[in-house]
Structure formats: structure tokens, C-alpha cells
Chains A and B, each alone.
Chain A
Amino acid sequence: MTDEFSLAGKNALVIGASNSLGRAAAVALAEAGANVGVTTSTRLQREEVAANSCANEIWALNRKGFAQAIDAADEADVRAAIERAVLEFGKLDVLVNAQDLPFAKPLTEITPAEWRRVLDVNLTGVYLACRAAGERMLSQEYGRVINIASVLGERGMANGAAYCAAQAGVLNMTRALALEWARRGVTVNAIGAGWTAGMGIIGGDEGRQALERYLPYKRLAKPEEIAGAVVYLASDAAAYLTGQVIWIEGGALSHV
């Protein structure tokens, strides 16, 4: 039965493996057998360090991999990362969009440039990656696109208008794109991640403690608790699953 979940021989690219969710997704894909290239979300040096560290972990699992510093909102950067995956692996089967630019500010203080930047990385970046990878996947009539979004795509948060708008955009773009590619061998799904340790939107210890009081699970998600669904969606076991959001959120969306 576990054979159906194996990703041996598959090749994946994770955009934004510099954050905790993207990294856990990349490592899980590699553990399940895939070769995995990873990128940053932005060109910050600490992101590059994190992406390289992730690639080391992939190599330690005896898979092929690489790390590339990109700005996930830059079309040429994103295209270059996808072309590199094709060059190094010969083929791209799985795209994980985990790019993330955390941002919280009262709406009246958000500048138009900030608004655009948050939407550019978190939403337009998904479009750019889907577009570039989609050309490959449609021509080979096989592909798995997995967009990692947040509970903030389904519920609002004060000071979160820009981030929430982007996350909701990712969820409904997922549904639309799934329908577009449904008969062409490419599935498109999203994971609605709960509040996950290490993600920037949590905003430090104070935010974490407030969430721990509020969440039914009384704790944040560990990144690897989200990553199992990435493997499931990437595998042949989920061939009939498309246009859906799998929520892994410790009850955050269930309670009043």
C-alpha cells in the first residue's frame, strides 16, 4: 500500500524552501524518494543560507538536489529555477509553491508599494511558477502542483488584509487552474496550513503564546505535520484529487 505513495523517480521543485513549511515539504518529498530542487522566496541572505541548508539535507538522503536564490516575484528568476530543475533532473513532475512574505500592518498605513510587494510574492509568484512549470507539465501530460496557503486565506485577521487577500487568492486560483488542467494530466491542489512553527506571520514569542492559548490543539503545527499531505498529493495515490484544499490546522477553522 505504501508503494502508491512512493515518489521514487519523481523530480520536484519547492519554491520558498527557505521557510519552515517549504523546507519540511522539500525534505518529505526527498524522503519519499524524489529529487528536489529548492529556492528562496526573496534574495535575503538568511533565506539563501536556509535554502542551502535544506539542499544539504536532501543530499544527505542520497537524492539529487540544488538550492537557488531567487526573488519569487521575478519572472526571469522563477523561470530560471524551473529550467534548472529540468536541466539537472531531466524532467519536472512536482511543483510546490511555498513562497512566503509575511506582512501585517493596519490598512491605512500600508503603502501601495508594500501592498503590491505582498501580493507579488505570495500570489503572483504562484502564478509565475505555475505558468513556467505548467508549460513543461502540460507537454508531458503529467504534473502535480501543490500550493501551500494558510488559514488566513479562509479567515480574516486584523492588520492582515494584504496577506489574507494573497492567501485567499492562492486558494481560488488553485480551483480555477485545477479545472483548466483537469484533462491534461496535471492536478492542482492546495494545502491550507494552520499556524506553523517557524513561519514569519506568527510574529515572535508573543504571537506564538497568544496562538497557543487560542488553538484547540494548544500548540502550533510542526512543519513536518503539514508535509505528509504534500507527499500524498504528489503521489499516484492522489491521481483523482484536484481543485481541493486540504486543511491541516489543529482545529483552528472548526471552532467558533
Chain B
Amino acid sequence: MPILDKLRLDGRVAIMTGAGRGLGRAMALALAEAGTDLVATARTQLQIEETAVLVRERGRRCLPVVCDVTDSGSVNAMVEAALAEYGRIDILVNNAGGITPGFANSLTDISDQTWRTGIDTNLTGAMYCSRAVIPHMVKQASGKIINVTSGFGLRAGRDNFMYTTAKAGLINFTRSLSLTYGPAIQANLVAPGLFPHDDPAMSEWWKGGKYTPMGRLGRDEELGPLCVFLASDLTSYMNGQIIVLDGGGLAGGHAPTGFAPVVPLAEEEGRGK
């Protein structure tokens, strides 16, 4: 089969959490364009209804299901609804997550509940969804789980405790998934860099990508092809791995702070002669 045809996902079914906007919507639409039918979940009904319309415009089926990933009962009901509609689940994208109340609190100001909400939203939710979907993938002897971590899962942040801890935990959770259920099932991660999701305030906060090596911020639709690639048969030997899509941020300095060391060139300093 020609290599580009292996990127086609016709006849497969994908669950996208956090599908109502931003990266989740962009990945859902890319999967739909590659041929999958979708289950679009999020807490906000109106947003997933909008995503569903966009999926259907691309000629695929979409089942919007309101779901709070921090509630395992809600997750289990969502997966049951997906199976009732389609009879199979081939792809699970654990994209739901984000900053939670008190995300920038100093350590001593983090209450027990603040901590739990941050960890549940960004780590436990992915575990609940994976736990509910895995038995069906095992039965099918195939499946793809794609977990969305962050540059903050690989590097730390000052006064950033819940988010960095949860996103780092998600990485090793994914590796253990890959060793336990591979090679039939592949579990990998994407780590998006700075994506403002069309929000001018976020763009401004990150100075338009001035400190990102590539000089710009990420666009939501750029995550789509990466999601398709990881959901496809082209990545059958890839398991437990992370693909960072960040315009070069993690290759060197830390993008948003402007700390990107560039040493003087040899002729200026007399080095390297």
C-alpha cells in the first residue's frame, strides 16, 4: 500500500476528549478528514455540538457526549454511549485538561481540593478514559491512545505545581500503558508548545512567539496532522513516545521567558580559532 494511503483512517472510530474547542477540535476535524467517525466529548454541550456540525460537514459521523473526565461514572457512561453508537473504539485522544483554579498558587496556598482538581483534570481523567476504553481495544487486539501532555510535563515552572506534576505523570502513565498493552495497542503522547488558540490575550502574554526559536506561536490546526500520524498504521512500532510540537522551544532555552542563550560568535570572542 502506498505510504500516504496508510494515513487514511476510514472506518475507524475515535473518542476525543476536550473536543469543544482549541486543540481538541482541531484534532477531531483532522481525524474526520482522515476518515474517522468521532465521539466528541467535553463539559460544555454547545461547544461539542458545534464540533459535531464541523465533523459532519466533512462527511463523517459525530456523537457529541457531555462528559466530565474527572468523574469516572460520567466517563464510563460516555464510553458506553460510544460503543452503543458505533460498536467499536479504535482511537482515544486524551486531550481534556488545562489550568485549574489556583494553578499559579504558591505551594503553601494550595488547598487539598485545589491540588486534587488540578491532578484529576490533567492526569486522573486520562486514566479514567483509558481504563474504560482498554478492554474494548484488547478485545479488538488493536487500538491507539494519544495523550496530550505539555512542555510543562518535560520542564518545570515556578509556582506551577499541579499542572507540571500531572502532565509529567501522564508521560510515565503512557509509557506503562505502552509496555502493558503493546504491541497490539500503541499509546503515545503529543506535547504542544505555546498555542494561543486564537486568543489575543494569550498571544500577547507569549509576545506573539518572539522568544520561541521559530519566532511564532503554534496554530491549532498544526496539531491535526500529528494526531493523524500517531493514529495511523505508520506508527505501529512507536509506543510510549512523545512528539513535541513547539517550534524548537524545548530544544534549547525556555521559550516564554526569553531565556534562550546565544553565545557570542567565535570571531567576536576569539574562541574556536
Contacts from A to B (Cβ < 8 Å): 1-2, 4-6, 28, 31-33, 174-176, 178-179, 182-183, 194, 216-218, 221-222, 225-229, 231-232, 235, 237-244, 246-251, 253-255
B107 at the interface (CB under 8 A from A): no
A251 x B225 contact (CB < 8 A): no
A244 x B226 contact (CB < 8 A): no
B179 x A231 contact (CB < 8 A): no
B225 x A216 contact (CB < 8 A): no
Closest to A61 in B: B2
Most buried by A among B8, B193, B239: B239
Task: Please indicate the chain A residues that have their CB under 8 angstroms from the CB of B219 in the complex.
Answer: 240
Mask of B172-204 contacts with A, CB within 8 angstroms, 1/0: 000100110011000000000100000000000
Task: Please indicate the chain A residues that have their CB under 8 angstroms from the CB of B266 in the complex.
Answer: none
For the complex, give the distance between the alpha carbons of A49 and B244 in Å.
38
Contact A179:B237 (CB < 8 A) given known A237-B226, A254-B175: no
Contact A241:B238 (CB < 8 A) given known A216-B179, A217-B183, A254-B175: no
Interface residues on B, range: 35 or more
A238 x B225 contact (CB < 8 A): yes
Stretch of B69-77, B156-164, B227-235 at the chain-chain interface: B227-235
For the complex, give the distance between the alpha carbons of A241 and B5 in Å.
22
B235 x A228 contact (CB < 8 A): yes
B4 x A179 contact (CB < 8 A): no
A178 x B251 contact (CB < 8 A): yes
25 contacts between A and B (CB under 8 A): A1-B33, A2-B4, A2-B5, A2-B7, A2-B8, A31-B2, A31-B3, A174-B251, A183-B214, A225-B236, A227-B3, A228-B6, A231-B3, A231-B4, A232-B234, A238-B225, A238-B226, A240-B214, A240-B245, A240-B246, A242-B213, A242-B247, A242-B248, A243-B252, A244-B243
